[in-house]
Amino acid sequence: MNHLRRIKKSHHLRELSSSSSLNAKKFIQPLFIVEDLKEREAIDGMSGVYRESESSLYKQIESDMNSGVDQFLLFTVPKKKSDTEFSSSFYNKAISGIKKNFPDIFLWLDTCLCSVTTHGHCGHLDSDGTIHNEKSVKRLSNLALLFAESGADGIAPSDMMDGRVASHRNILDSNGFNQIPIMSYSTKFKSNFYGPFRDAAESTPSFGDRSTYQLDVRDRESAIAASVRDEKEGADFLMLKPGMTSIDLILPIREKTNLPLGAYQVSGEYASVELLAKNGFLKREEGLVETWNVFRRAGVSFLISYAAREAKRLFI
């Protein structure tokens, strides 16, 4: 099976791929699961979004499904940080547990090392202090396979190493997972708008920043080339991030690629709306819908938003 059959596999993927304009069925809700958490914890700046325990997550998914959401992007936060190993039993239990309880949802797994490593960078750190591309890709692909073996429906690589999409496709295909789609964070910038997320995912780099692997906002050509490359490497879905500050790139990327292109309304963007609303500067729901209308106008095929669970109520 390859791309054109893969994206028809489920009604969820057909929604994301359809050329109709942005609507509530095209929203994906991010979720966080934290190993060994006893009670769920609020995330600063993002009301209604939590670091979840296994049991609180099940309740949240149930309530989200009642609100009309059936696609999720899961961030896994292991307790023990390691630069060589994975908390396989945590991933396995978390992912298979969700799918067992909610077989009808589509569960994307964010695939990155920043919540895993001792240093919070998205890849493998060499002794000279640089992120080694090939070692990173190898480890990330092993994580993608572990997610697939645990029951993930889709893989969403967010690390921005070179060659990770091809490597993930290869390891999935050669282990009997050729039906699993890859939604690549294909045009992902180094950004100041990921702040609330990093607290939630325990992924703040302990030194430096991510500018040696994430895109530079000043570099338009590389930003477009990165999505073009991921299509060539075998991605099934492309994505821009942060959404609002990449809005000008949606059309140029669509012109140069033939894959469904989504955007991620990231934590800092969501928190901005929340903060303005808290201070009485805008009406929260109207502010959110305005941003979604802009994404629709700009031509995205799908949207990842922390307020996805409100889309059915507020949006077409």
Pick the stretch among 163-171, 197-205, 222-230, 252-260 that binds ligand PBG (CB under 6 A). Answer: 197-205
Q: Is 158 annotated as a binding residue?
A: no
Q: How far apart are CA 314 and CA 316, in angstroms?
A: 7
Rg of the chain, C-alpha, whole Å: 18
**For residues 151-170, which are near ligand PBG according to CB under 6 A?**
158-159
Q: How far apart are CA 167 and CA 185, in angstroms?
A: 15
* DSSP letter, residue 189: B
**For residues 224-253, which are near ligand PBG according to CB under 6 A?**
none
- Name the minimum Å distance from CB 75 to ligand PBG: 7
Three-state SS for 30? strand
Q: How far apart are CA 74 and CA 152, in angstroms?
A: 9
9, 99, 188, 256: which one is catalytic?
A: 188
Q: Retrieve residue 193's tokens.
A: 């708008």
Q: Which residues pair with 187 in a beta bridge?
A: 240
* Residue 202 makes contact with ligand PBG by CB under 6 A: no
Q: Which amino acid is at 156?
A: A
- Residue 197 or 292: the one with the smaller Cβ distance to ligand PBG is 197
Residues 268-297, one symbol each (x = binds ligand PBG by CB under 6 A, - = not), give ------------------------------
Pick the stretch among 138-146, 193-201, 219-227, 232-240 that binds ligand PBG (CB under 6 A). Answer: 193-201
Task: State yes or no: is 188 an active-site residue.
Answer: yes
Residue among 24, 49, 61, 114 that touches ligand PBG (CB under 6 A)? 114
Task: State yes or no: is 241 an active-site residue.
Answer: yes
Q: Is 87 annotated as a binding residue?
A: no
Q: Is 58 annotated as a binding residue?
A: no
Asked whether 194 and 266 are in contact (CB, 8 A), the reply is: yes
> How many chain residues bind ligand PBG (CB under 6 A)?
13
Residue among 43, 74, 95, 112 that touches ligand PBG (CB under 6 A)? 112
Q: Is 194 annotated as a binding residue?
A: no
Q: Which amino acid is at 187?
A: T
Closest CA to 230 of 184, 171, 279: 184
Q: Is 267 annotated as a binding residue?
A: yes
* Residue 146 makes contact with ligand PBG by CB under 6 A: no
* Residue 110 makes contact with ligand PBG by CB under 6 A: yes
Helices (H) and strands (E) in the chain, counts: 12, 12
* Residue 197 makes contact with ligand PBG by CB under 6 A: yes
Three-state SS for 223? helix
Closest CA to 120 of 218, 18, 199: 199
Distance of CA 283 to the CA centre of its chain: 27
Q: Which residues pair with 124 in a beta bridge?
A: 132
CB neighbours of residue 301 within 10 Å: 23
- Residue 114 or 171: the one with the smaller Cβ distance to ligand PBG is 114
Three-state SS for 19? coil
Q: Is 306 annotated as a binding residue?
A: yes
- Name the minimum Å distance from CB 200 to ligand PBG: 8
Q: Catalytic site residues?
A: 188, 241
Residues that bind ligand PBG (CB under 6 A): 110, 112, 114, 122, 158-159, 194, 197-198, 203, 210, 266-267
Q: What residues are designated binding site for 5-aminolevulinate?
A: 198, 210, 267, 306
